Amino acid sequence: MDWGRFWWWVVLALVQLGMNGCFGCWEQERLALMQLKASSLNYTYASSWDSDNRKSDCCEWEGVMCNITSRRVIELIMNLSFVQDLDLSKNHFSGSTPLHFAMGSHYLMFLKLSYNNFSGQIFPTNFNLTKLTFLYLDNNQFSGTILKSISQMKTLSSLDFSNNYLSGMLPTG
């Protein structure tokens, strides 16, 4: 038996299985999506997600986009226009803060993104969170200075930026 040829076929079969999504999405991300579905958040696509089947591949669910190689969830198609409370803490999210949190959430009053791996600037300079009362962004990887516009948020009563890499003082409004 030619072992070189045998291993070549094994590697080729594994690559083919991975490309066809047989390994599915990451379990921790599937569970986070199930928590989103179970929350009071009226997420349009969540009703079609199969929560009863533990082998259900969340990368195949409506409104969920995954990286084709790693099978990690990279995007959710969401409309946050009328959401008031949003707690996405402890979900291993990474990268920059999604723009829909800062731009399209006109009624958002409570936002908790604690214990993730968000990085970079907290919000874009022209964010629109005029009704925000509670903002918890602690235990992430945010860096840079705190925007002056955060201190000008009239309704903000509770704020936590602890355990990030921010510099400077909280600007006064």
Q: Are residues 87 and 127 in the same domain?
A: yes
Q: Are residues 84 and 132 in the same domain?
A: yes
Whether residue 6 is predicted with pLDDT greater than 70 in this model: the reply is no
pLDDT of 112-156, one tens digit each?
A: 999 999 999 887 766 778 888 999 999 999 999 887 878 788 899
Q: Are residues 61 and 37 in the same domain?
A: yes
Q: Record the tokens describing residue 16, joined without a space.
A: 């083919």
Give the domain-ending residue among 78, 101, 132. 78
Q: Are residues 18 and 86 in the same domain?
A: no
Instruction: Say what the pLDDT of residue 22 is.
Output: 44
Whether residue 1 is predicted with pLDDT greater than 90 in this model: the reply is no
Residue 148, φ and ψ in degrees, nearest 5: -60, -35
What is the band of 2 on the pLDDT scale with cuts at 50, 70, 90?
A: low
Instruction: Say what the pLDDT of residue 163 is.
Output: 97
Q: Are residues 20 and 105 in the same domain?
A: no
Instruction: Say what the pLDDT of residue 134 is.
Output: 95
Q: Are residues 40 and 20 in the same domain?
A: yes
| CATH assignment of the domain containing 113 | 3.80.10.10
pTM over 0.85: no
Comparing 160 with 152, the larger pLDDT belongs to 160
Instruction: Say what the pLDDT of residue 138 is.
Output: 97
Instruction: Say what the pLDDT of residue 19 is.
Output: 47
Q: Are residues 70 and 89 in the same domain?
A: no
Q: Are residues 166 and 89 in the same domain?
A: yes
Q: Record the tokens describing residue 49, joined without a space.
A: 């997600």
Q: How many domains does the chain have?
A: 2
Name the residue among 95, 100, 137 with its Cα closest to residue 117. 95
Domain span holding position 67: 1-78
pLDDT of 12-69, one tens digit each?
A: 555 554 444 445 788 888 888 888 777 656 666 777 787 666 677 888 888 888 988 8
135, 113 in Cβ contact below 8 A? Answer: no
Q: Are residues 168 and 133 in the same domain?
A: yes
Q: Are residues 49 and 131 in the same domain?
A: no
Comparing 21 with 9, the larger pLDDT belongs to 9
